[in-house]
Structure 1
């Protein structure tokens, strides 16, 4: 904590069906520490590449705090000033002077079969380290720091995990979905990307792993452990998109990571080759397409222009295979009865802000089927599809899954579409193919999306059956 106030306090809340106040700690003496300067001398900005080394304050977690995602709210000033600050509610999760952390169970899996992975590497990548009155703009996207690498140190953009930042993504994607999970009676435990990276046994007690919202940055160990979990009969639900797009290399005792992305290096943009992109073959990338795990790829999807989360079409997913268990109880039709096919999530901003897709072809009945030409498993079944061509006049460039993908893949290789589906390879992997699925479900904006989510959780988190 760094503050020029004489003292400060910390209020703690737990995210659940509502934001629940847990405790207040302090007062603590305030100590000011400046942010580290940017190595390129970028005026008014700070370095994203080094630990900020602010003064540390240890606060024990009470024994009676249940596992979950917690919010810390930092309040400057004396007791009189603190009393004037009202307690936060659900509308106050996002903002500066806030940070989140997880409380893990003492006995993992004892009370829950579902493990929710909070995408913390992605959060750090986008964290600009701003505060309410200062636009520091230091991240992997704003004034990034690139290193050439050497013995024991990978080449790429470097990012410290020990930086301040406030809360944005947690409030947008996670909070409404976590609230819905608890309202709906699901017992869930939580982990971070770093937990999955560090602990080879983390997934063992669980039946279902959840990836939620925006889950872009993965380490090789994370991916290997999830792949092994599936091969061994574990299930995964990707209620997310832009998933596993960049590889990261944790360094410095896992307090920082390096990723060779296409982000700016000096005056060069895009920086190519970006060797930590998962799908291209070496030496231009890792050579392990992410859709081999997820079934879908940002390469076959896209994003909407403008400010996040952006305006976008609200047509929803065209339903296929309406007799599949995923659609049970929705009443949705696929056109096989002679009528028009229904659209899952129609009228909501379900597709996007970013979305992933599977390379596909259409059969003689017009049904989209995964071609598997770029690594999607043969058993992947497309259950919902939204064609991205055309959407906007400038969407030709967006649909490739990244601003400069035409630099890598100049020829159009087939139609692109946001894709919902699943495959089985030991365990079952479901993908929603869109970042905003947890928003639509969590806020209960569409009954069909809610029911599909329930069907996935109930089937994949329940006891193992012959057909998973």
Structure 2
């Protein structure tokens, strides 16, 4: 590696990986020269050192992640820092800023719709709480460990009373719940009415306890839904609830049973007069974290740490599945005790990037107690400028989607007895508060639909290898390492940049290169790529299972990615009935092919099978000998197996693979250059393409289970080269980039950078 003007020649970091002793994150994935980047660090060590490095490639030996090619960058933030602990409070909840004196009249009613998802749990869950500043006074509604609900009150003089339901709540069932107190009648009441499905009777519980509590001087400083204020630190929360809550209302009034029944069936909204304190409608402003109060007081609340919106409420009738057409039927929030939107750590290091810092992949390198960690970030050129003819697009949406993936827990049966979890996964297993990937499930069994970059992401590390192979970010460094090793000038940008800038980002570049798994694309990204190719752009799709899931980035919270799986595609969870549309943008979720963006039509190939454990190489097909393809295979033998080696499962074709298929829109003039052979039944045919299951659909028996290499030209000078496999990157770096996978990649890039056009001639009829 040649030195550049910012640092030393390439060096190799040596790392101990016995344990993770320091972690952190940054507030941006993409950053421009001259801008500031903030880093948040947590360590039990008393002191640590920080430096900035350019990541010059992937791990030369993934079986020994102690070595990583880097280049030190002079930075004024480099040096020694005192260590400190930072805490993460996971669990979504709502903060409702009711007036401080609202309990002081000694008569109140709180009403809401409640649908618990795990009513019997390992601990109590708070549905609603109101606390004084010192925590000594207030009230709460709690779902106990056995599924019963308890209404608890504590007055200003320390008197207290509890009212407990006679029967437990059922899971995934809706209840109208009201809690009331009247100092005049001396009664505290818990009203629970089952309103979900058929019952042989009304199934309403009315539980009352005598109580004389003094709220005259009680000042309520905090009202929460789905959590309680932590008794040890009221600014924190505890006892988070799992389930839905709909449209809470607060009154300075005590209702009789007939009135409560009318309120539960909507016969009387009960919001007239001056006794209404707040009336929240969760069907308003669904795309935001704002909870709208319809009362004259306008005590609008705020969702904290996520919480899923655009979910069905108690009155959903199935006639509309787009929440925008019936928002009153989506007036609920689904809370989870493991939600996280922002770890909320304080900044430890701020670095203003030099104005002349070259575009590339960088990291803040942290060292504590002999261990090293990296916090990656991507330096793009200043917006509106270009410094190279090639753009590598880092698939940061994919990194987020898989961020802190915990599937290693489910993979234990498939792993060898001597397999040792990476230190990052061990740490992740010990720290559930760092949140999940969208491949995981919440504690209540519902699918995770949001992922945030404002938290440590342990598998977004250059020295990380998961239980399957070198994958995602660590694999993509083999692609940027190839460009670095070849001395090919290139810029780096991220999915965020393409989403925000569209075709303006891509238009100046002669060649666009993808990462190994560009799976999660937003609509603005898809439209930009389509326009780029139509305008004569040239693409090297060096991955597999790309352009697959409909993905949204929250316009107001750009750190937050949303994916709703729908009910098709190779998915880790289903979207519940009526909950397909993204809360942040209103887009329908699912896979892009259902909305016209079929990968074969765009790039020649589309996903066909998912597997793992083994990989193989490619064999040349007839089209590879066509004169139009001769440049691709310059230096490659006629019978040479391409990529029967590599750092990812030992082959260039593997993991998730794509196929050429004219029926799905592969352009008819596409050259079908090579295909893989030798997949076993670990590779199963994608069920997207099946109408029913049947024998013979695995890799050994199904001719559609294959990775295909293709190339086609586009009128106006554009061209697309696709390799149809995630594992291509893992073979690219094999033998210090001296191999036939690298040779083919070199040949294609050289031609695409050339000024002249070379239209391909169709020579195969395809599948």
Q: TM-score, normalised by structure 2?
A: 0.48
Most deviating of 288-297 and 107-116: 107-116
Q: Does 1:303 align with 2:303?
A: no
Cα distance change of structure 1 residues 48 and 374 upon mapping to structure 2, 3 Å threshold: farther
Structure 1 counterpart SS, 2:515: strand
Which residue pairs with 2:706 in the alignment?
417
Q: In the comparison of the two structures, how many residue pairs are matched?
A: 406
Deviation at 1:442, TM superposition (A): 2.1
For the Cα contact (< 8 Å) 1:72–1:99, is it kept in 2? Answer: yes
**CA separation of 1:465/1:33 partners in 2, compared to 1, >3 Å: closer, same or farther?**
same
User: What are the superposed Cα offsets for residues 206-265 of structure 1, whole Å, 9 maximum, x if unpaired?
Assistant: 10110021211111111110110000001110001111111101113322121111599x
Query: Residue 343 in 1 paired to residue 382 in 2?
Result: no
1:38-77 matched pairs, under 5 angstroms: 47=338, 49-56=340-347, 57-76=349-368
Match of 1:434 among 725, 737, 752: 725
Q: Provide the residue aligned with 1:122 in structure 2.
A: 398
Q: Quick one: distance in 2 between partners of 1:171 and 1:393?
A: 27
8 Å Cα contact 2:565/2:591 also seen in 1: no
Partner of 1:258: 562
Question: Distance between the aligned counterparts of 1:170 and 1:159, measured in 2?
Answer: 16
2:315 aligns with none
Once the two structures are TM-superposed, the CA of residue 317 in structure 1 deviates from its matched residue by 3.2
Closer, same or farther: CA 38–98 of 1 in aligned 2, 3 Å: farther
Partner of 1:242, secondary structure, is coil
CA distance in 1, matches of 2:448, 2:473: 30
Question: Cα offset for 1:144?
Answer: 4.9
Contact 1:382 1:422 in 2 (8 A): yes
Find the aligned partners of 2:122 and 2:691 in 1 and give their Cα distance: 33
1:448 aligns with 2:740: yes
Shift of 1:109: 5.9
Where do 5+ consecutive residues of structure 1 fail to align? 89-96, 149-154, 334-340, 360-371
**Is residue 215 from structure 1 mapped to residue 532 from structure 2 by the alignment?**
no
Q: Distance in 2 between matches of 1:107 and 1:399?
A: 42
Partner of 1:33: 87
Shift of 1:451: 1.5
Does structure 1 conserve the Cα–Cα contact (< 8 Å) formed by 2:707 and 2:725? Answer: yes
Match of 2:420 in 1: none
What is the CA-CA distance between 1:178 and the residue it aligns to? 1.9
User: 587, 597, 603: which is aligned to 1:294?
Assistant: 603
On the 8 A contact 1:319/1:344 being kept in 2, the answer is no
Q: Which residue of 2 aligns with 1:204?
A: 507
Counterpart mapping for 1:185-334 below 5 A: 185-200=487-502, 201-251=504-554, 252-261=556-565, 269-271=573-575, 276-281=589-594, 286-298=595-607, 300=608, 302-305=609-612, 310-312=613-615, 314-320=616-622, 321-322=624-625, 323=627, 324-333=629-638
CA separation of 1:430/1:108 partners in 2, compared to 1, >3 Å: closer, same or farther? farther
Q: What CA distance in whole angstroms lies between the structure 2 residues aligned with 1:455 and 1:139?
A: 37
The structural deviation recorded for 1:461 is: 2.3
* 1:378 equivalent in alignment to 2:668: yes
- Aligned equivalents of 1:433, 1:342: Cα separation in 2: 18
Shift of 1:107: 7.1
C-alpha RMSD over aligned residues: 3.5
CA distance in 2, matches of 1:32, 1:156: 25
* Separation (CA, whole Å) in 2 of partners of 1:434 and 1:394: 15
Kindly indicate whether the alpha-carbon contact (under 8 Å) linking 2:386 and 2:491 is maintained by their aligned counterparts in 1: no
- Structure with more relative contact order (C-alpha pairs < 8 Å, separation 6 or more): 1
Residues 12-23 of structure 1: pairs in structure 2 closer than 5 A: 12-16=52-56, 18-22=69-73, 23=75
| Whole-angstrom distance in 2 between the partners of 1:279 and 1:415 | 21
1:141 matched to 2:439:
yes
**Quick one: distance in 2 between partners of 1:280 and 1:248?**
13
Contact 1:317 1:345 in 2 (8 A): no
Question: Which of 102, 126, 138 is equivalent to 2:378?
Answer: 102
Which structure has the bigger radius of gyration? Answer: 2
3-state SS in 1 of match to 2:663: coil
Structure 1 residue 174: deviation in Å? 2.0
Choose between structure 1 and 2: higher strand proportion: 2
For each residue in 1:333-362, what CA deviation from the matched residue of structure 2 results, as whole angstroms up to 9, or x when unmatched? 2xxxxxxx4432235511112111122xxx
2-structure distance, mates of 1:459, 1:43: 62
1:160 to 452, 460, 465: 452
- CA contact under 8 A between 2:451 and 2:561: conserved in structure 1? yes
Distance, in Å, in 1 between the alignment partners of 2:438 and 2:397 is 11
Query: Which position in structure 2 is the counterpart of 1:152?
Result: none
Task: State how 1:360-375 maps to structure 2 within 5 Å.
Answer: 372-375=662-665
Cα distance in 1 for partners of 2:745, 2:86 equals 46
Instruction: Choose the corresponding residue for 1:11, options 42, 51, 58.
Output: 51
> What TM-score do the two structures reach when normalised by structure 1?
0.76
Distance 1:450 1:4 in 2: 40
CA displacement 1:258-296 (0-9 Å, x = unmatched): 1111599xxx94447876333553xxxx34212221211
Relative distance call for 1:26 and 1:292 in structure 2 (3 A) is farther
What corresponds to 2:13 in structure 1?
none
> Is the CA contact 2:49–2:79 (under 8 Å) kept in the aligned structure 1?
yes
Q: Residues of 2 paired with 1:315 and 1:202: CA distance? A: 34
Change (3 A) 1:35 1:330: farther
Alignment-derived partner of residue 364 in structure 1: none
1:345–1:446 CA contact under 8 A, matched in 2:
no
User: Following the alignment from structure 2 to structure 1, what is the Cα–Cα distance between the partners of residues 652 and 703?
Assistant: 23
The alignment partner of 1:327 has SS state of coil
